[in-house]
Amino acid sequence: MRFASLALALIPALAFAGAAPYGSIADIELIKKEDGVDSPSVKAPKDAVILFDGKSLDSWVKRNGKDAPSWKLLPGGIMQVSGGDVISKGKFDGKFKLHVEFRVPYMPKANGQGRGNSGVYVQGRYEIQVLDSYLVKNGKLHKSQGNDCGGIYSVAPPSVNACKAPTVWQTYDIEFASPQCEGGKKKAPGVMTVYHNGIKIHDNVKITTDNTTSGAGGDPCSPGPILLQDHGNPVQYRNIWLVRD
């Protein structure tokens, strides 16, 4: 069954939010109706560190750690990828929960890693992939990789494909414990649990590398920023916050 009417109903709101390049998803046969409905935005707790409230990019700098970001600030409390990676001014370690809301453009003529690619890097080192993986191989993810949406890049694939359709708002809730160190040397790897649109897709996964592909690297025993990747696609983000344990 096609839900073209639902997709068409979403278009005015998307256009207002600066999403013109995303296009209509009226030609997508949704697996279930909810896949075309935005995940609800989640209000930050009182004790949260607000990384993006939709009003400014003041909490972010370019990857060089100095220059103001070139990302676009759009109506509706949205920032859109443009002009290189950005990192948070704040750096974090220990245990924390990161909440991120994102959506990917509909790029039907692109393939694989070219379809709405971006990424959320915890401590600037460990990427949770952002990608349009909604109908990858008829909805089945590449189980041998972590390179589809929700994957811990090149470390672990998500246990299920929890993606919504492109142009639709999605959520990540990332529970992270940084590597355990003694005397400045790593003794145990970092651990990550990830919920995608409220569905657990990683459960206490050990991060077996000190830097996933294109990460900022650095000493795994030191705090690191949140990094959002520019992979050349107009991915959008809103409502990003972090709560320390």
Q: How confident is the model over 179-233, as pLDDT tens digits?
A: 999 999 999 999 999 999 999 999 999 999 999 999 999 999 999 999 999 999 9
- Is 69 within the bounds of a domain? yes
Tokens of 225: 């920023």
Asked whether residue 205 is assigned to any structural domain, the reply reads: yes
- The answer to whether position 142 is within a domain reads yes
* pLDDT value for 114: 85
Report yes or no on 8 lying in a domain.
Answer: no
User: Can you tell me the mean pLDDT for 112-134?
Assistant: 95
CA 46 vs CA 3, 52, 178, 241: distances in Å: 38, 15, 23, 11
80 domain residue, yes or no: yes
Domain count, the chain: 1
Q: Are 143 and 77 in contact (CB under 8 A)?
A: no
Question: How far out from the chain centre does Cα 173 lie?
Answer: 9
Instruction: Select from 128, 54, 57 the least CA-distant residue to 87.
Output: 57
Q: Which residue has the tokens 């993986």?
A: 133
Q: For residue 214, what are the domain limits?
A: 39-244
Average pLDDT on 9-28 reads 56
| Predicted pLDDT at 23 | 74
Alpha-carbon gap, residue 189 to 177, rounded angstroms: 9
**CATH number of the domain where residue 138 is located:** 2.60.120.560
* Cβ contact 69:83 at 8 Å: yes
Assigned domain for 6 exists = no
pTM: 0.89
Strand residues in 95-157 grouped as ranges (E): 95-103, 118-122, 126-130
pLDDT at 21: 57
Residue 172 has which token pair? 């990540």
Tokens of 51: 């990384």
- Is 211 within a domain? yes
Rounded to whole angstroms, the Cα distance separating 100 from 238 reads 7
Does 23 fall in a domain?
A: no
